[in-house]
Every structure is written in C-alpha cells, then in structure tokens.
A and B are shown apart, each in its own frame.
Chain A
Amino acid sequence: MSEALIQLKGVTKSYTRGKQSVPIFERLDMTIPQQDFVAIMGPSGSGKTTLLNLLGGIDKPTGGEIVFDAKRMDNLDESKLASFRAGNVGFIFQFYNLMPMLTAAQNVELPLLLTKLGPKARRERVNTALSIVGLSDRARHKPSELSGGQQQRVAIARAIVSDPKLLLCDEPTGDLDRETAGEILSMLQTLNRDLGKTIVMVTHDPEAARYAKRMLHLDKGHFSEKDLAA
C-alpha cells in the first residue's frame, strides 16, 4: 500500500465524568494508508465513534498526535478544524442526517457552500455526485419522499461532492435492511476502488465488514487486526 493518509501516534483520549476521568484509549497507535478501506468493529462503548470523531476533527485527543497528509491536525483551533473538515472529510451517519426541508440536490450542495464555487459549478458538481449514487432522477425530492437506502445514498453524495480524501462512516447500514445495506456497501467499495477514497467505517455487522479491505477490532482501548477471510 501507498503512504499514510492518517497516523495516530500515542493518542490518548479520556472523558471527564463528574470528577472522574474515564479513559477510552491509552497511547493508541494506528496508520491508515491512502486509499485504504478499513472496517472497525468492537463492543458497544469501546470507543469506535470516539475514534471516528478524532479522525474527522470533530473531537480532540487528550494526548498524542494525529497526522493527516503529513500535517498535524490535533492542535488546530476550532475554525481551522472546521475548514479541515470541509476540505478533507466526508461524514456518513447512521441516521443519514439530511436536512428535512431541503431537496436531495440542496442537501448535496451544502458542503459546496463552503467553497468558492459559483452556483453553476455547484450545480454541475451536485449532478455528478447524484449520478454517482444513481439518484439523478430524485434530485428534487425531499428526504421524507425517499426510502432509507435512497436517503443514505443522498448522504453519500453529500459526503463526496466536495471531493474529500477521507470518508468516515459510522454504522452506515445500521438502519437498513440487508439487501439495501449490500447496495450501500458496494457503493462504498466502488468509491474506494474507482475514486480512490480512503474509507474508515464503523460497524457491528461482520457481513458489512467483509466489504472492507481490512478490519480492526477495537476493545479495551487497543486494536487487534482480524483476518477478514476467517
């Protein structure tokens, strides 16, 4: 595999609950190469979502370093982190997180409002993203007029529209039936293979994990790599 997109170096994360400090990770090391597709599994409460938040610049580590594209990002301030997220990360949530009053196309356009692109360029990008997820004919539909799988595809289009290197998915198929889940996962696979997106996906479902290139098991603050073939 090629060089590292993300490196965690001795990352510590703890939450304070009342006066107590609750550690989630102690000195965690991890490397995610460019164009990797890694599934992260582990028991509930093991810190999978917390890890995604750290990778995506939504949360900050208590200690250690996070390096993205050879640049440290754990010490960025609030507004630099926001532009880091806008430029480098696409989020795909379990519950889609679409804006209910906006159409599919308007939802997909949101990240582009943070760029310098004009309305025409934005429209073109939106159309491309929607056609990638196969929803060009639903551009004017509101989320409430779409099925769960379609909503998640809109969310994927929104995640890729500004062409970030990294896609972070937290249980992207957790709310979908098996067949629809398969479609979504194949789509992620395609994005990884054909568009070179680096994907980190949290899932409870071993079936879903099979779509990834590799799988990491997170438990008690440590990783163990599992052979996907097993």
Chain B
Amino acid sequence: MGRTFTQIAAVTMMNLRSIPDRLWTSLSTVIAVAMVTAVLLGFLALANGFQSTVQGSGSPDVAVMLRKGSGSELNSNLTREQSLLVEEAPGLARGADGKALVSPELYVVVDGIKKSSRTKANLPLRGLGVRANQVRSGIKISAGRMFTPGTNELVVGRAVSRQFEGFELGRKIRLAAQNWTVVGEFEAAGSVFESEIWADVAVLQGLYQRGSSVQSVRARLDSPASLEKLKAYSEADPRLKLDVQAERSFYAEQGKGMSDIILYLGWPLAIAMSFGALAGALNTMYASVDARMREIATLRAIGFGGTPAFVGTMVESLLLSAIGGVVGALATYLLFDGISAATLGSNFTQVVFALKMTPQLVVQGVVLALVIGFVGGVFPAWRAARVPLLAAFKEQ
C-alpha cells in the first residue's frame, strides 16, 4: 500500500512537472474552464442577488391583502369598505390610540430616466396610508424627512436616487403630470422598497381618479401566527374574501419567478459552454498522454503498473480544471460581486439589486470545473493506463 502510494506520488509529480512542456494547451484548458465557471457564477450571483433582495423585502409579521386572484398589486383593487373592514380584524397590532396598524396603499407605475443609459424605465410609485411607518419596520429615512400627508411631496428609495435622474433631495420633479418635491430619501435594508417612490395615498387617489379605492392593504400582525386568524376573518366575511399572505412569502413568490428565469438561462448556457471546455480538456489531456507515451511505456517496462499512469493523468486534468475554476470564481468575485444590476421585477418595474457571491456559489462553480476536469481526464487516463509497452522501444 505504502509502495503503491510512493509509485503513484512519483509518477504524478513527474506528470505535473511536465505541464510546462505543454504550457499553451494547458493554459487554454485553464482559461476555457475559467470562462465556464465565470459565466455560471455570474448567473448564479445574479439570481442569488435578486432573490435575496426580493426575499429580504418581506417581513413575516406584515400581512399583504389583495383582491382574490389578482396575483400582484398592480392588478388588485380594494374598496374603502374593505380596508375599513380589515381594520376590525383580529390578530392585528395596534397603535397607542388603540387603532389597528393598517396601511391602504396604491401602487402605480411612472416613468423614470436611468442615469446609466438615459433611457426611460418603469418606476413604482406607492401611495402610503398614514400608518404605513408603523406597519413596516426596517425603513429608515437616511436624508431629509418623511413626506407630509396631503401634499405633493415624495420620498425616494436609495436605489432610485442612485440610478435615476432628478431625485436629488429638494428637487422638483414632474411625475404623472404633476409637480412633486423630493423631501427625503430612505433605506430599506437593500430590499425592493429601495427601488420605489413613496407618496401619500390620498394624494395619489385624487391624481389617478381612484376615488377612495386602493390596491392593497398592509397590516401589522401582533405575531406571525396571527396570519391564520386574519385569513379566517377574511374568508368568513363575504365582503372581504381577500388573498391574505405574509409579506415575506408574497415577495419570496414574486422573486422566485425571476430568479428561476435567471437560473434556467444560466445553467444551460454554462453547460453548453462546458462541452466546449470539455473538448479542450480532452484534447489537452490526450496530447499530454501522447507526449508521455514513451515515458509511460518505459515505466511499465521497468515494472510500474498502469494505476500510477492513470492517477497521474487524472490529477493533471483535475488540477488544471481546478485552477480554471478558482480563477473563474475569483474573476467573478472581483468583477461582479456587489455591482448593481437592475431588472424587471414581477410588476414590470425596475428592481435594483446587487450581484451576490457566496461560498456556496463558489463551490458550485468549482464543482462544475472539477466535473469538466474529471470527464476530460478519465478517457485520456484510461489510454495512459493502457499504453502498449512496446512504445518504449519507439523513437519519439
């Protein structure tokens, strides 16, 4: 056993030390594998960043209520009567005045101009009820102040002011044929809310001729478990019959669709590219075996078994692709991690989020690289183990 290991180690070292003889073809394998890994990780980081932004948006003790079957806030419509009924529901957190913490909200789409491309893009403009601040937690006014209800004032999410033109503090801006003043900027822990503009719901109702109707009602629960009470209450009253969801699962569902699309795009592309890299790896490793044919045969003639030649070739292939994988992961990390991207959220509005690399993603990338190295090595290694001994007598 010890001897076998010594043999394998010696032949493997010999194998690895001969890589510089095949520098260019080895390097091209490393680069091909690095590119595959980088593409895969780019997509994974995109999906991951999107998902964590969207999922982070939801709180488990906030309930979102929409009209039954509407699916998204844009498609929903609730009457004033319904929002008043919600305020009577059990299981809701209540303010100091004893009133339920409920925010009837409007959700409309306005045009913004992206700084990067100077093109129009959809921005969500949300009208908040007076108690919205108490309903949502984790919102922080980072500059300026909250809008005053009843006025044409608005506050913008951090991502909006960063990526869109004209949202600097104190600026007047024209949205939906109205003049507005930006009075504040808010942070929301990197969630989708940072990609929204907020104003007073009553002002928007007037502006969009919605009368007293809204699109969604958010309510703060006294505990996450109270969601069931709220659901039961809504089901029991024929005037309500709303779709009631915890905000967390509402956003998780919305985020899943998009990040699935990214993954369904990313994996096949990475796998298609893997075949290219695999062809390169096979080529490199067959060339390596062919170049070492006489050496391998000589070792066999001396009395070495086929196993060291097999292992040596496998290790070379795995090493080259592992280097490729690590280089690819590193490149993705340095180039992409944390950079901002914007994509359409499920309401066809822009969601701004950052690409997010995690150790788990890096592992996935390196595993793909090693799979390429394994498959690209095993066939040449098999050839190496079966080099005819007579090759030792041939001139090279």
Contacts and interface: CB of A to CB of B under 8 A. Distances in A.
B220 interface: no
B392 interface: yes
A170 B300 CA distance: 17
A115 B304 CA distance: 11
A53 B393 CA distance: 10
B18 A101 contact: yes
Interface string B270-314: 000000000000000000000000110011111111000000000
Given A93-B393, A113-B6, A114-B304, A101 B17 contact: yes
B304 A97 contact: no
Contacts, number: 71
A116 interface: yes
Contact of B3 (A59, A82, A99, A113): A113
A79 B300 CA distance: 10
A82 B305 contact: yes
Contacts of A170: 393
Given A85-B302, A87-B303, A93 B10 contact: no
B295 A97 contact: yes
B303 A99 contact: no
Interface string B359-377: 0000000000000000000
Interface string A91-125: 10111010111100000001101111000000000
Given A93-B393, A114-B304, A101 B7 contact: no
Interface residues of B, number: 24
Contacts of A115: 3
Contacts of A116: 3
Contact of B392 (A82, A93, A101): A93
B269 interface: no
B14 A82 contact: no
Interface in A200-226: none
B395 interface: yes
A86 B393 contact: no
Interface of B: 3, 6-7, 10, 14, 17-18, 21, 294-295, 298-305, 389-390, 392-393, 395-396
28 contacts: A49-B393, A53-B389, A53-B393, A58-B390, A58-B392, A59-B389, A82-B303, A83-B303, A85-B301, A86-B302, A86-B303, A86-B304, A91-B302, A93-B392, A94-B393, A95-B395, A95-B396, A97-B294, A100-B18, A101-B18, A110-B302, A110-B304, A111-B302, A113-B3, A113-B6, A113-B7, A114-B302, A115-B3
Interface of A: 49, 53, 56, 58-59, 79, 82-87, 91, 93-95, 97, 99-102, 110-111, 113-116, 158, 170
